Chain A
Amino acid sequence: MKAIRLVAVAVQSIRKNKMRTLLTMLGIIIGVGAVMVMVAIGQGAKSQIQAQIDNLGTNMIVITPGSSSAGGVSMGGGSGTRLTLDDAEMLKRESFVLTAVSPVIATGAQVVGGQGNWRTGVNGVSTDYAIIRDWDVRYGRFFDQSDVLSMRRVAVLGSTVAEQLFPGQDPVGQQIRLRDVPFDIIGVLEVKGQTAQGSDQDDIVLAPYTTVQTRLAGRTFIPQILASTGLQSDIPAAMEEAKVILRESHGIAAWDEDDFTVRNQTQLAEAAQGTAEVMTLLLAAIASISLVVGGIGIMNIMLVSVTERTREIGIRMAVGARGSDVLTQFLIESIVMSVLGGLVGLGIGFGGAELLARFTGWSTAIAPGMVAIAIGFSAAVGIFFGFYPARKAAALNPIQALRYE
């Protein structure tokens, strides 16, 4: 029997049982639809992460201390020679490509003032920080070079901190206390939003690094130096330059490795994209479960169908159908059903992703490759779950099948 005839027979049989076919297909429709929506969410998250990374700062380079090892035992990142304020100042002074450099002295403090108190992070930074992070003030002003040099006790609040302590008012000119040290509020930052990892970037207090170092941290080393270039294309050169300057500053011999790490946003982005990739995969895996359930639904209906159509199988066998003809017919039926279901599911996936984007504000994206994967996958489900019922049909004895009531 020719394959095209078998397909015709299968399609005919599917059309004869519209309701049953639809119910069977529903499992695959929902399965494929769910996978599509989930992957769309994952893809959307990925592009959102990209946007957030751009939001972290433009053309930013991050310098952190490297690891030290004692007798072959690595002490991990940050344990090596500390970065110092001298390093930051040297970078600022000697670099040609870097347009802005700021040390970041991160510490935490209980902020007291206004309506009460609030635990938050305090970053001691230089005036360049606002340029590097591309972050303006909403009220007041950012501190200037004289504030830094004079170690003035001035602070710029993140919008979350401002909202917590001074809800609904402009706190500029008021005072807060950080670990019992009074600071004058000179500005409030614009809303920056969340990072890709979900931490609130606005939950922060910025103060001159000189002030933070002497009044709060009391350390000479700094955990991070941020820098930026004017042009994105300058980043590789800037990274090289920063390395050379820091090696000189740390007195590292030519044959020794760096004791610091210079990264840029591309690397950070890649790491974050990797996370998003894993998340997409996870979502797809969860949604695949419904596809498997849909496949079992097909198997279930096909088994019922084999029993229900025992007589039909008997007739076909009596007029000369081989077992393999019956097997192929049932297999094609299940494949046609699952692929049709897959196509409908695809449409629903597109629509669902679109609706979700509209109502939740999440960004969603469907890659073109997904279409092929969805169809291929549903065909595979059809073959896998259709085989057992089809084989059962093929193994029927024609005499008993003909007598079956």
Chain B
Amino acid sequence: MTNGEVIRVEGVKKLYQTGRTEVLALRGVDLSIARGEMVAIMGASGSGKSTLMNILGCLDLPSAGSYSLDGARVDGFDRNELADIRNRKIGFVFQGFNLLARTTALDNVELPLLYDRTGRKLNTKALAKAALEKVGLGDRLDHEPSELSGGQQQRVAIARALVTEPAMVLADEPTGNLDSRTSVEVMALFQELNEQGITILLVTHEADIALYTKRVVELRDGRIIRDEPVKRRRIAADDLARMAAEPDAGVTDDLLRDETMELTGAR
């Protein structure tokens, strides 16, 4: 599962029309992501980052250019085809977790399987349980989101993303609503999953979160301005071990980082 392209984007443009004003959110993007990669897509607000994510996530179609996901040409798909390909090929993780309220972790994770049209996923409960065990929540199956911490909720969301065995996991600011320690824990989970060969795309504006990935793609004004491998990649498991060894140092570090986040106008 290490060879082949998962994503191939060529000359993708996106034009938004609101009333009389036209906004060219993407001005020609070329991008290729291979299987097993872990890529961070960065950019300030208004850079076209969200637009690109929507297109990569098959939630939206490009105005021009082509997009192939796992060998399938997605541009030109209708609503139903997009829904089906999202179901089969993409696992979403969102900033706000986006779990169904008053619904148990197990039922939340089972959700994508209920919309499976291939008929392959029959033992949905068992698959959902396995996915939750994979993210370390085997003992929280019957808990509802309100009974789980932020980190646990995000783990449920990751389990939901994994349960269909998608071609890639698309995470939109997955640590945005989490404190720094939990953020590192979630990144550790992503790194672990990536080690198992799962392709992960991470949309973030936090530079230190991007450091946990293998490759950074940066957008500005609808164009890719930087696309390079991460030189000094951080290993989340090591950071967690360090935090455990020096709890005080870790906290100070975290506090500083939180302040930087606020100063840089983080969401």
Contacts and interface: CB of A to CB of B under 8 A. Distances in A.
A12 B101 CA distance: 12
A320 interface: yes
Given A16-B103, A319-B86, A1 B115 contact: yes
A292 interface: no
Interface string B68-90: 00000000000110011011100
Given A318-B59, A320-B112, A320-B116, A312 B83 contact: no
Contacts of A314: 98
B94 interface: yes
A324 B115 CA distance: 11
A172 interface: no
A12 B112 contact: no
B114 interface: yes
Contacts of A16: 101-103
Interface string B29-68: 0000000000000000000000000100101100000000
Given A1-B114, A1-B115, A323-B80, A315 B100 contact: yes
Contacts, number: 64
Contacts of B99: 315
B103 A398 contact: no
Contacts of B111: 315-316, 319
B115 A316 contact: yes
Contact of A402 (B87, B94, B103, B107): B94
Nearest to A401: B59
A318 B112 CA distance: 9
B18 to A, nearest CB: 13
B127 to A, nearest CB: 14
A5 B117 CA distance: 13
Given A9-B114, A319-B86, 10 more contacts: A16-B101, A317-B83, A318-B57, A318-B92, A319-B111, A319-B112, A320-B84, A320-B164, A321-B83, A323-B79
Interface of A: 1, 5, 9, 12, 16, 311-312, 314-325, 398-399, 402
21 contacts: A1-B116, A9-B114, A12-B103, A16-B101, A312-B100, A312-B101, A314-B98, A315-B99, A316-B115, A317-B86, A318-B59, A318-B86, A319-B111, A319-B112, A319-B160, A320-B83, A321-B83, A321-B115, A322-B79, A322-B83, A402-B59
